[in-house]
Amino acid sequence: MEQIPLYEAEMASFAGLDTQVLGISVDSEPCLKAWAKDLGGITYPLLSDFWPHGAVAQRFGVLRDEGHSERAIFIIDKHGVIRYVDVHDIDAQPSNDELRRAIRQIDPEVRDRPEPQEPEPAVLPHGGIVMYCTRWCPDCKDARAWLAEHKLAYTEVDITTTPGAARQVERWANGNRTTPTFDIDGTIVVDFDLPRLREVLGL
């Protein structure tokens, strides 16, 4: 799920490489519409592979026996040929930078185009509890509820909208954009790791 809004946040950079981003899921169309709304709005197409159930996923070799699809990324060139395949665990998806490098290698027409200008990184907060998160992340929602239950004040940083925040999380989380990630007075806790959070916060 995490990759969907991260693509949305960097759509201009993919468009600059003549690339159309598509999402596809075995969920039904109404489910995808509700999901996109819950994510804050997705402007690129989300396609339903619901019926015949998983037919596209099966043709691409990523349909699981239980009817769900693997998390997978395919880059298809302008001639309809699959040139890149990555099947990955939920926390090991390729970064957008890696995908853009692959697109440049595949398509000579965009290989030498300049990199888009990235916005200046924001001044990220320090001190106290800072939670790096997204709007839609289930673990982030659980973390908000846990912090509220313990009456702990915190600052929230959305990595999809705050320039530089996603790259900061990548540095802390071994190249992954794991949310939530906490900066607690300089001590980093990656993921909603309750034993570690209790230890750091003295609970």
What class, spelled out in words, does domain 129-201 have in CATH? Answer: alpha beta
| Residue found under tokens 């490098």 | 101
Measured distance CA(175)–CA(2) in Å, rounded: 14
Measured distance CA(10)–CA(160) in Å, rounded: 9
Q: Token pair for residue 199?
A: 């230890």
Q: Running along the chain, 203 residues long, what does each successive block of 10 average in pLDDT? A: 76 92 94 82 90 94 92 95 90 84 94 78 90 88 96 93 88 88 96 96 95
pLDDT of residue 91: 65
| Residue found under tokens 């916060």 | 201
Query: Can you name the CATH fold of 3-106?
Result: Glutaredoxin (3.40.30)
Q: CB burial class (10 A; 0-12, 13-18, 19+) of residue 149?
A: exposed
Boundaries of CATH 3.40.30.10 in the chain?
3-106, 129-201
- 160, β-bridge pairs: none
3-state secondary structure of 167: helix
* CA dihedral (27, 2, 173, 98) positive or negative: positive
| DSSP alpha helix (H) spans, the chain | 3-9, 11-15, 29-38, 55-59, 96-106, 138-149, 165-172, 194-201
DSSP letter at 73?
E
**Conformation bin of residue 111: beta by default, left when phi > 0, alpha when psi is -120 to 50:** alpha
Measured distance CA(182)–CA(172) in Å, rounded: 10
Closest CA to 154 of 201, 193, 203, 202: 201
State the amino acid at position 26 in one-letter form.
V
